[in-house]
A = this chain, B = another copy of it.
Amino acid sequence: MDIDALLTSAAINTGLSVLLFSLYSILRKQPSNSIVYFGRRLASLNNRNSRNHFSFERFVPSPSWIVKAWETTENEILAIGGLDAVVFQRTLVFSIRVFSIAAVMCLFLVLPVNYYGQEMKHKHIHAESLNVFTIANVKEGSRWLWAHCLTLYIISCSACVLLYFEYKSITKMRLAHITTSPPNPSHFTILVRSIPYSVGESYSNSVKKFFTDYYSSSYLSHQIVYRCGLVQKLMVDAEKICTKIKAVPNGQPSLKPCCLCGGSTSFKVLTDEPESVKDSFSYSNLNLATRDNERSAAFVIFKTRYAAVIATQMLQSPNPMSWVTELAPEPHDVLWSNLCIPFRQLWLRKIVTLLASVVFMVLFLAPVTFVQGLTQLEKLSQTFPFLRGFLKQDLINHVLTGYLPSVILMLFLYTVPPTMMLFSSVEGPVSRSGRKRSACLKILYFTIWNVFFVNHVSGGFLFAFNMLSSVGDIPVELAKAIPNQASFFVTYVLTSGWASLSCEVMQPFSLLCNFLKKHLRRNHEDSSDGLVSFPYHTEIPRVLLFGLIGFTYSVMAPLILPFLLIYFLLAYLVYRNQVVNVYIRKYESGGQLWPIVHNTTIFSLVLTQMIAIGVFGIKKSPIASGFTIPLIICTLLFNEYCRQRFSPIFKKNVAQVLIEMDRRDEQSGRMEEIHQQMHSAYCQLPLTSHEFCESVHKLCQDNIRGQEDTKPGKEPSEVSEPCAVCNFGKEDNIRE
C-alpha cells in the first residue's frame, strides 16, 4: 500500500465520519428520536414535552453536542454514569496522553530516521510505499537504531508513570465511592450458596439456625431464593387475567386494525373498570414461599457492613463446598436466574465455557484468514482469475486494499459480543456486572488474539495454530510481520476505529427500532424499554485493542499514530456524549474495570518491548536489543508493585473504612432506618411481580389507547403518572 491508497482510505473515512456526525447532529434534534439520543436524560427527568414544534434549525448540522461533551466535568460524569464511566473516561484520557507523547517522539525523531534510513532515491511522496516510513527501511546494523530504543524507553516510562497515577487516583475514587455512597444494601448483605440439605427442615430454617448460631450478634434477617420457574408460573397467571379482561361483561369487543399485517389483533378493548381488574390481580393464589420452591441460596442481611464482610471472608464450614459466602451484588445487579444454579455445577460450568470460548476463538480464524487474503491482491487474483481485469482498476485496487478487508473483519466481529455474553451467562455469575466483566475479558482475549496476533502471522490459519505450540517464537514472528502489516492496521484504525465511533453516536439499531415502532406499529409513545446500560464489554476491549496496536506500531511504523490520536480524541467526545445522554446506569461495579485496563496496557508494553528486541535482532543491533531487556524487567516489576499496592482494594473491602461507616451511621442514629430498608432490598417476589405488573400495564395501555384513538380530542396518557389499572409507574421503571 502506498501513501495514495492510505490517503484514499483516510479521505473516505473522514468524509464518512463528518457526514455521519452531521447527520447525528440533525437527527438528535428531531423530537421523535429523543428517546434514542436522550434516553438517559428523559428517563431521569420523566419529562417528555417540547414535541413537534417545527423550526428550520432542526435541519442544520451543528457541533453543539461536541462543545457540550467537551464541557462536561468529571464530577458530572461520576454523578451520571458512576465510577465505571469515569474509569472508561480515564482510560481514554490515559490513551490520549501517552499517545501524544509517543506521537511527538515518533514523528519528529523516529519517522525521519526511518525515511532516510537507507540510501535510496525517494519517489514522489504520493507514490511512496508505506514501508519506507517503517523500521523496515532502516539499514541493518544502523547506528540510528538508538533513536528507536530511546523512544521506546520514553514511551514505556511515560506509560508507567501515567498508569501509576491513574491507578492511584482511581483507587482513591473507589474508596470515596464506597464511603460517600448512600447506605447500599449490597454492603450489608451476603449471598450464601450451597446451603446443605437437611431432611425435614426448610432451607430458610437452616439459614436462620446457622446464622443465629454462629453470627448471633450481627445477623439481621435473610431472604431465601425461590425456584426460577416462578416466572413461568406468573406468565400462566397473566394469561388467566387476560381471559378475565376479555370477559368483562359490559365491554363491546371492538377490534383494532394492525398496520403491519392489515388484519386485526386479538386484543379486545377494555372498558374503564379498573376495580374489577384490580380485584383479580392478587398474589394470594401464588403461594410461592413453600418448601418445594426454595433453592439452596439465600441473601443474609447483617446489622453492620463489617459483619457482612467478615462473613464473606471466612471459610464457614469444614466442607468448603457448602455454606459458600460472597458479597451480594446490588439489588438491581442481581441475576436471579443464575442464583438457582447449584453451586456444585459452577466449577464445571466455568471449565466448559472456557473450552467453548477457546473453540470459538479457533473456529473464528477462518474468516480472518480470508480477510487476510484480501489485502494481498496477487493472492486474490490468483485464486479468482476472472477478477484480474477488474482488480487492475486503480480505484477498485485502493478500495480493496485500503477499505474492504477491515469492513469484512468488522462485520464478523459483530457476532462476537453476543456469543461471549452467552458464554458468560452460562458460566453462572450472580450479577449483571460480573457477567459483563467476564464477557469483557473474553472479548478482550478474543480481539487481541484474532485481530492482532492472527493478522500478523503470514501463514494464516494453520500457522497461527502452530504458533500456539511454540510460544517462544511469537515475538520473532511478530517482529518479522509487524513492519509489513502496518498498512493493514492503519486502515483498521481508520475503518473499524472511526466508523465504530460514528456508529456508536448514530445508534443505527435503536434508530431503526424506534422508526419501525413509531411508523409501522403507530406507537407514538416513548417507552423506556429500549434503554440500555453502557456496553463496557464491547467498548473496553475495542479501546484496549487500539492501545495495543498503538504501542506495538508506535516505534515500528509511526505513521499510525496521528490516526490513532484522532480516534482517541473522537472517542473521548463521543463516549462522554453517550454517557451523559444515552446510556442509563442500572448497576455499578465500582471501578472494577480498571485492573483489566491496567493489565492489558502492561501486556501491550511488554509485547512491544519484546517485539522491539526481535526487530533490533533482525536489524543486527545487539546493543539496542540488550538495552531493551532491562526495560522489560522494570515494566514487569512496576506491574508487580501496582498489583501489591492497589489491586487488593479492588478485590476486598477495607475493614477500616467499613468500621468507620458503621460508626458514623450508628452515631447519627440512622442504623435503625437503614435496617428497615434492608429487609425488603433483596426480594425476589416483588421484583418479579414488578415485571409481571409491567407486562399487564402494557396490555392495559394498549387497550386504553385503542379506545382513545376512537375518541378525538383526548391526548394520549403519559407514563409519568401511575397507571390507574395496575398502579404501574409508581416506582422507577428502568430495567435491562
Asked if A309 lies at the interface with its beta carbon under 8 angstroms from chain B, I say yes
Residue contact B654 to A317, C-beta cutoff 8 Å: yes
Contact A655 B469 (CB under 8 A): no
Tell whether, in the assembled complex, residue B655 and residue A320 are in contact, meaning their CB atoms are under 8 Å apart: no
In the complex, which of the residues B347, B469, B644, B655 contacts A315, with contact meaning CB atoms closer than 8 Å?
Answer: B655
State A473–B351 Cα separation when bound (angstroms). Answer: 25
Q: Chain B residues near A253: list those with CB within 8 A.
A: none
Judge whether B320 and A314 touch: CB under 8 Å.
Answer: no
Contact between A654 and B175 (Cβ–Cβ < 8 Å)? no
- Tell me if A310 and B314 are in contact (CB < 8 A): yes
Question: Does A59 interact with chain B (Cβ within 8 Å)?
Answer: no
Q: Is A645 an interface residue (CB 8 A)?
A: yes
Query: How many angstroms between the C-alpha atoms of A334 and B670 in the bound complex?
Result: 46
Most chain B beta carbons < 10 A, residue from A310, A314, A470, A472: A314
Residues of B within 8 A of A317 (CB): 654-656
Q: Is the CB of A656 within 8 A of B318?
A: yes
Q: Which of the listed residues A348, A351, A644 has the most CB atoms from chain B within 10 Å of its own CB?
A: A644
Q: Is the CB of A637 within 8 A of B321?
A: no
User: Complex Cα distance A648/B314, Å?
Assistant: 11
Which of A315, A652, A657, A659 has most chain B Cβ within 10 Å? A315
- Whether A648 lies near B310 (C-beta < 8 A) is no
Q: Is the CB of B470 within 8 A of A315?
A: no
* Residues of chain B within 8 A of A310, CB atoms compared: 310, 313-314
A338 on the B face (CB < 8 A): no
* B-contacting residues, A578-636, CB 8 Å: none
CB distance from A241 to the nearest CB of B (A): 45
B347 touches A655 (CB 8 A): no
Least Cβ–Cβ distance between A617 and chain B, in angstroms: 14
Contacting B at CB under 8 A, from A313-327, are 313-321
Docked complex: A647-668 residues within 8 A CB-CB of B: 647-649, 652-657, 659
Known contacts A214-B659, A652-B314, A656-B214; decide if A347 and B309 are in contact (CB<8 Å): no
Q: Is there an interface contact between B214 and A655, defined as CB atoms closer than 8 Å?
A: yes
Given A469-B470, A469-B473, A640-B351, does the pair A316, B214 have CB atoms closer than 8 Å? no
A313-B313, A470-B469 known; A318+B654 contact, CB < 8 A: yes
Smallest CB–CB gap between A98 and chain B, Å?
A: 26
A-side interface mostly: helix
Q: Which residue of B lies closest to A309 (CB)?
A: B314
Q: Does A641 contact B (CB under 8 A)?
A: yes
Q: How far is it, in angstroms, between the C-alpha of A658 and the C-alpha of B652 when the chains are bound?
A: 23
Judged by a CB distance under 8 angstroms, whether A45 is at the interface is: no
1/0 per residue, CB under 8 A from B, across A158-190: the answer is 000000000000010001000000000000000
- The listed residue with most B CB atoms (<10 A of its CB), out of A318, A640, A644, is A318
Instruction: Say whether A468 faces chain B, with CB atoms less than 8 Å apart.
Output: yes
**Which residues, 293 to 322 on A, are CB-close (under 8 Å) to B?**
309-310, 313-321
- Residues A652 and B468 in contact in the complex (CB < 8 Å), given A320-B646, A351-B637, A645-B321: no
CB distance from A652 to the nearest CB of B (A): 4
A598 to chain B, nearest CB (A): 15
- Separation of A647 and B637 alpha carbons in the complex (Å): 30
Q: Considering the chains assembled together, what is the distance between the CA atoms of A564 and B127 in angstroms?
A: 74
- Asked if A471 is at the interface of the complex by the 8 Å CB criterion, the answer is yes
| A657, B649: Cα distance in complex, Å | 29
Residues 256-286 of A contacting B (Cβ, < 8 Å): none
B residues in contact with A641, CB < 8 Å: 347
B469:A645 contact, CB within 8 angstroms: no
Closest CB in chain B relative to A602 CB, distance in Å: 15
In the complex, chain A residues 208-244 whose Cβ is within 8 Å of any chain B Cβ: 214
Q: Whole-angstrom distance between the alpha carbons of A471 and B351 in the complex?
A: 22
Smallest CB separation, A425 vs chain B (Å)? 21
Give the docked Cα–Cα distance between A477 and B393 (Å).
53
Contacts of A313 in B (CB 8 A): 310, 313-314
Partner among B175, B309, B320, B471 whose Cβ is within 8 Å of the Cβ of A318? B175
| Closest Cβ neighbor of A171 among chain B residues | B318
B347-A644 in contact (CB<8A) = yes
Q: Check if A321 sits within 8 Å of B471, measured CB to CB.
A: no
Asked if B648 and A315 sit within 8 Å, CB to CB, the answer is: yes
Cβ contacts A435-471/B at 8 Å (1 or 0 each): 0000000000000000000000000000000001111
Q: A469: nearest residue on chain B (CB-CB)?
A: B472
Q: Using Cβ atoms and an 8 Å threshold, which residues of chain B touch A656?
A: 214, 316-318
Chain B's closest residue to A648 (CB) is B320
Most B C-beta atoms less than 10 A away, residue of A472, A640, A655: A655
Knowing A310-B314, A318-B654, A654-B318 are in contact, say whether A470-B472 is a contact too (CB < 8 A).
yes
Let me know if A655 and B314 touch, CB within 8 A: yes
Residues of B with C-beta under 8 A to A473 = 469-470
Q: Which of B319, B320, B644 interacts with A321 by CB under 8 Å? A: B644
- Minimum CB–CB distance from A354 to chain B (whole Å) comes to 11
| Minimum CB–CB distance for A103 against chain B, Å | 34
The verdict on A347 contacting B640 (CB below 8 Å), with A309-B314, A314-B309, A318-B657 known, is: yes
Chain B's closest residue to A350 (CB) is B640
Write out the residue numbers on chain B whose beta carbons fall within 8 Å of the beta carbon of A318. Answer: 171, 175, 649, 654, 656-657
C-alpha spacing A698/B317, complex, angstroms:
50
Contacts of A470 in B (CB 8 A): 469-473
Expressed in whole angstroms, the Cα–Cα distance for A659 and B647 within the complex equals 31
Q: A320-B644, A320-B645 are in contact. List 6 more A-B contacts (CB 8 A).
A: A310-B313, A315-B652, A316-B655, A319-B645, A347-B644, A351-B637
9 A-B residue pairs with Cβ-Cβ distance under 8 Å, sorted by A, are: A175-B318, A310-B313, A314-B655, A317-B655, A318-B656, A320-B648, A351-B640, A469-B470, A470-B473
Residues of A whose CB lies within 8 Å of any CB of B are: 171, 175, 214, 309-310, 313-321, 347-348, 351, 468-473, 637, 640-641, 644-649, 652-657, 659
In the A-B complex, list the 10 residue pairs whose CB atoms are closest, starting with the nearest: A469-B472, A320-B648, A313-B313, A314-B655, A315-B652, A470-B470, A315-B654, A318-B654, A347-B644, A316-B655
